[in-house]
Chain A
Amino acid sequence: MRIERRLRQPWWLSVVVPIVSICVAILLGALVLLLTGHPPLHNYRRLFDAAFLAKGALSDTVISATPLAFTGLAAAVAFRMNLFNIGGEGQLYAGAITGATAGLLLAGAPSPIVIAGMIAAGAAGGAVLAAIPGIFRAFLSTNEIITSLMLNYVVALVLDYLIFDSHSYLRDTSGFEASVFPQGKTLPDEATWPSWTLHGLALPFGFLVAIGVAALVWALYSRTRFGFEVQVIGDSARAGRYAGMRTRRKILAVMCLSGAIAGLGGASQDGDFRHQLDPRGLTAANYGYAGIVVAALARYNPFAVVLIAFLLGGLQNAGYTLQGADFPAGLVGVMQGLILFCTLGGELFVRYRVRIERPARKPARPAVEAGA
Chain B
Amino acid sequence: MNNSLLVVVLASGVAYGTPLLYAALGEVLAERSGVLNLGVEGMMLVGAVMGFWTVQRVHATSSVALIGAIGVAALAGAAMAAIHAFLVVTLRANQIVSGLALTIFAGAAGLSSYLGNDLNLAGSPAKHQFQEIFPKSLQDAPVIGPIFFGQSILVYASWICVVLVALYLGRTRAGLNLRAVGESPAAADAMGINVAAYRYAHTLVGGAFAGIGGAAFSLSVTPQWVDGITQGSGWIAIALVIFAFWRPTLCLVGAYFFGAFTALPFALQSHGVTVAPELFQSLPYVMTVLALVLVSSRAARLRFGAPAALGLPYVREER
Task: Give the B-binding residues of A (Cβ under 8 A).
Answer: 4-5, 32, 36, 84, 86, 132, 136, 140-143, 145-147, 149-151, 153-154, 157-158, 160-161, 165-166, 286, 289-290, 292-293, 296, 319, 328-334, 336-338, 340-341, 344-345, 347-348, 352
Contact = CB atoms under 8 A, between A and B. Distances in A.
Contacts of A145: 36, 96, 311
Given A151-B285, A289-B103, A341-B83, 5 more contacts: A86-B100, A328-B114, A334-B114, A337-B105, A344-B97
Nearest to A338: B105
A248 to B, nearest CB: 14
Given A150-B285, A161-B278, A296-B94, A143 B238 contact: no
Contact of B111 (A4, A140, A146, A334): A334
A139 to B, nearest CB: 9
B100 A289 contact: yes
A255 to B, nearest CB: 15
A340 B91 contact: no
- The residue in A140, A150, A154, A341 that gathers the most chain B C-beta atoms within 10 A of its C-beta is A150
Contacts, number: 155
B114 A329 contact: yes
A154 B282 contact: yes
Given A142-B293, A150-B285, A329-B113, A337 B306 contact: no
A337 B102 contact: yes
Given A140-B293, A154-B286, A347-B93, A340 B117 contact: no
Majority SS at the chain B contact face: helix
B125 interface: no
Contacts of B317: 4-5
Interface in B95-109: 96-98, 100-109
A185 B12 CA distance: 37
A340 B238 contact: no
Contacts of A36: 114, 118
Contacts of B97: 292-293, 296, 340, 344
11 contacts: A5-B317, A150-B288, A150-B289, A157-B278, A158-B282, A161-B278, A165-B276, A292-B100, A337-B101, A340-B97, A340-B98
A293 B101 contact: yes
A294 to B, nearest CB: 11
Contacts of A340: 97-98, 101, 104-105
A296 B36 CA distance: 17
B239 A146 contact: yes
Most buried by B among A4, A36, A330, A344: A330
B305 to A, nearest CB: 9
B277 interface: yes
B102 to A, nearest CB: 7
Given A330-B114, A341-B98, A151 B109 contact: no
A316 B59 CA distance: 39
B71 to A, nearest CB: 21
Contacts of A160: 278
A309 to B, nearest CB: 15
Contacts of A332: 109-110
Nearest to B287: A150
Interface string B221-260: 0000001000010010011001000000000000000000
A136 B293 contact: yes
B31 to A, nearest CB: 11
Nearest to B115: A330
Nearest to A84: B96
A166 B110 CA distance: 33
Given A141-B296, A293-B97, A345 B114 contact: no
Contacts of A329: 113-114, 116-117, 227
